A and B are shown apart, each in its own frame.
Chain A
Amino acid sequence: MRLTRTLDDQMIALWKQGRGVGGTFNQRGHEAISVGTGAALAPDDVATPLHRDLGCYLIRGMTPRRIVANQLGRAAGVTGGRDANLHGCGDLTLGIVGFISHIPQSVSTALGVAMSFAYRNEPRVAMTYIGDGGTTAGLFHEVLNMAAVHRAPLVVVVENNQYAYSTPLHQQMAGQNIAPRSEALGVPAEVVDGNDVDAVHTAAAAAVERVRSGGGPRLLEARTMRMLGHAIHDGAEYVPSGLLEKWKKRDPVVLYERKLLDEGIVDQAYLDESARRCREITEDAVAFAESSEWPDPAAVEEGVFAP
């Protein structure tokens, strides 16, 4: 979580300094969800994380160097400069499927991944991610319906961060939660505090275990608050400041580090060292990316088709 936060802060700093390319998305508020769920998967499982799930990419082994190089459009980035920021950062050797901007597409792709596991009788699980906004699209409902019919080994993580770009939840749907909709479609669901990484991880691990043992799909709705704009360009002035103040007191990274201290699991020196190490990794990744080659324009037409 600390690395996710540090890398995210570093991206924001780069962009504010004019060193970024295109746009970048923010993670703040989502760290406990991407880390808690990502950590619940086994190496052979497959995840389809989104643009606010940096923690999941890191946990599955995608290096900060490749990620930052992708953010900066370099040849050494995951997509070699073909796609932006975390979009398209798929790597099947790490069990990561890249996403597209048409958000519910990840959910249907993950359904197919899960169905392939069932087809081959493999004890693997697919985990997919979607925001509250994405759940209002018809495809989300199509997938839950079909997943229930096929009892697909699929865990759907809904990151209910209360805003779809600038549109608050009450303008998106009647009711505050996605879980009842999931239940109605035959996919048992649980709502969890998305700012408590232990709670997220416990619920995700239980869901993964039930799914892996043939119990059919599960949905996990993690409630949080998107603490910054939709992307770097967005000041999110439309969010009432009182709401952000309230959630700021529940910062998932701060909450967890305080808990580790309170329970005597680590001491302050450990956390300081951890923070220093995260800064070092991040600075290395930025230096690597900024000094690495741009993609070759002569190769712009390569790779449209698989050979």
Chain B
Amino acid sequence: MKRSPAGTGENFGFSDAPSATATAAGGGSEAVMTYLEAISDALRTEMRRDPDVLVMGEDIAGSFGGAFKVTKGFEEEFGARRVINTPMCEQGFVGAANGMALMGLRPVVEMQFADFISTGFDAIVQYAAPNHYRWGAPVPWVIRAPSDGGIRSGPFHSQNPEAWFVHTPGLKVVAPSTPADAKGLLISAIRDDNPVIYFEAKPLYRSIRGEVPSGEHTTPIGKASIVREGTELTVVTYGSIVHQSLAAADRLAGEVSVEIVDLRTLKPLDTGTVLASVRKTGRAVVVHAANRLAGVGAEIAALLAEEAFEYLDAPVARLGGLDTPVPFSPPLEDAYRPDQAKITEAIRRTARF
């Protein structure tokens, strides 16, 4: 997988300037795609396979194809019946997805931005999440939530609200960091009989490319991935910060041997992979873009304190966004977010403890 140079200059997915055409490799078994193309590919694959899969959301139909163009060309291929433009009412259309899912359809709902998911909160956390526990009826929908910042979009187009949903019994939460997992986790989410919130990292949309298996490629929900092996310290992370962490680990090569766990699924959490890695390395840095306070990283740190205490040679370090709204202006947002330099510093501090 190639990463764009860190820093500025990427278009971060906001324009629909075509990226290089994906090329099939190895007899059509794999293709190089952007993260965004992998999401589209997953949707298209599942809609071709299963007539019960449909997409709905704001501005997703027609030649427009969504704010980020994920569903560009979908109405042409699948028709207006399966590519549904909704009015601007998240609570109404997530509620409608609840009813569709109860009847056995598999709606994939696009939140235009993850920030707007709060508008549909009751339909997600009060209706869909506890439904199977309450009366045994599955609610198999997926909400795609374009999240994350670093792209100078201010308080309402930059949020990482995953902790709200991890805290809600009955929801599954995934957050892929690579094109292959973006496709694999979306297909798995569509096939899962539970409501799944799929956080897609906007900064990765067009800034990373990678090999993506063709056809029905799935990534199991609930399985973390070791994206870099090491022996002296574990970084536990997910989403766009995986790439910042990889860059930091590369920079520290020869100084600290860093292992990186990409959680991929935030609920149900793959505690086994996290614990095995930290028990091996004895040191842990937990980092995510969402605010640190009561975030997913707090749960990881608590897990390590409870179940790996005797293996730890240093306190668990936690990095995350500040306990503020996401600020707009570059110097402010840079101060808000964890980045490669902050991760490097945290790794050094923890390694030297």
Q: Which residues of A approach B to under 8 Å, CB–CB?
A: 46, 78-79, 82-83, 87-92, 97-98, 100-102, 105, 107-117, 119, 126, 138-139, 142-143, 145-146, 149, 303-307
State whether A108 and B96 are in contact (beta carbons under 8 Å apart), knowing that A102-B122, A119-B81, A146-B89 are contacts in the complex. Answer: yes
B205 vs chain A, min Cβ distance (A): 29
In the assembled complex, which residues on chain A have CB atoms less than 8 Å from the CB atom of B97? Answer: 112
CB neighbours of A109 from chain B (8 A): 95-96, 98-99, 102, 127
Q: A112 touching B99 by the CB < 8 A rule?
A: yes
CA distance A119 to B97 in the complex (A): 12
B167 → A minimal CB distance (Å): 13
Chain A residues whose CB sits within 8 angstroms of the CB of B169 once the complex forms: 304
| Bound Cα distance A283, B313 (Å) | 67
- Count chain B residues whose beta carbon lies closer than 8 angstroms to a beta carbon of A: 41
A82-B134, A149-B87, A304-B133 known; A116-B99 Cβ under 8 A? yes
Q: Which residues of A contact B131 (CB under 8 A)?
A: 98
Chain B, residues 44-73, CB within 8 Å of chain A (1/0): the string is 000000000010000000000000000000
Identify the B interface with A (CB < 8 A): 54, 81-82, 86-87, 89, 91-105, 107, 122-123, 126-127, 130-138, 140, 169-170, 172, 193-194
B102 and A113 contacting across the interface, CB-CB below 8 Å: yes
Among A78, A89, A114, A139, contact of B99 (Cβ-Cβ < 8 Å): A114
CA distance A145 to B134 in the complex (A): 29
| A92 closest partner in B (C-beta) | B137
Is the pair B127, A100 in contact by a Cβ cutoff of 8 Å?
Answer: yes
Chain A residues, Cβ within 8 Å of B103? 46, 112-113, 116-117
Which 6 residue pairs are nearest across A and B when measured between Cβ atoms? A112-B99, A108-B95, A142-B92, A112-B96, A116-B103, A142-B89
Whether the pair B194, A105 counts as a contact (CB closer than 8 A) is no
Task: Give the chain B neighbours of A89 by CB distance below 8 A.
Answer: 135
CB pair B99 A143 closer than 8 Å = no
Alpha-carbon separation in the docked complex, A83 to B127 (Å): 13
Q: Give the residue of A46, A97, A111, A306 whose beta carbon is less than 8 angstroms from that of B96.
A: A111
Nearest A-chain residue to B169, judged by Cβ: A304
B100 & A113 in contact (Cβ 8 Å cutoff): yes
B135 near A83: Cβ-Cβ < 8 Å: yes
Out of B102, B105, B130, which one reaches A92, CB within 8 Å?
A: B102
Residues of B close to A119: CB separation below 8 A: 54, 81-82, 100, 105
> If the complex has contacts A102-B126, A146-B92, are A116 and B135 also in contact, measured as CB distance less than 8 A?
no
List chain B residues, Cβ under 8 A from A100.
Answer: 126-127, 130
Q: Which residues of B contact A108 (CB under 8 A)?
A: 91-92, 94-96, 98-99, 123
Residues of B with C-beta under 8 A to A112: 95-103, 107
- Please give me the residue from chain A that is nearest to B105 by CB atom: A116
The complex places the Cα of A109 from the Cα of B128 at a distance, in Å, of 10
Tell me the bound Cα distance from A145 to B93 in angstroms. Answer: 11
**What are 29 A-B pairs at a CB distance below 8 A?**
A79-B135, A92-B137, A97-B137, A98-B134, A98-B137, A100-B127, A102-B126, A108-B92, A108-B96, A112-B96, A112-B97, A112-B107, A113-B103, A114-B99, A117-B103, A119-B82, A119-B105, A138-B91, A139-B92, A142-B87, A142-B92, A143-B92, A145-B92, A146-B86, A146-B96, A303-B133, A303-B136, A304-B169, A306-B193
CB pair B132–A105 under 8 Å, yes or no, is: no
Instruction: Give bound CA distance, A92 to B193, whole Å.
Output: 16
Q: Which residues of A contact B87 (CB under 8 A)?
A: 142, 145-146, 149
Q: Which chain A residues border B133 with CB–CB below 8 Å?
A: 82, 303-304
Partner of A115, one of B100, B126, B170: B100
- Least CB distance, B197 to chain A, in whole angstroms: 14
B residues in contact with A117, CB < 8 Å: 103
Query: Whose C-beta in chain A lies nearest to the C-beta of B93?
Result: A146
A207 to chain B, nearest CB (A): 19
- Find chain B residues with CB under 8 A from A113 CB: 99-100, 102-103
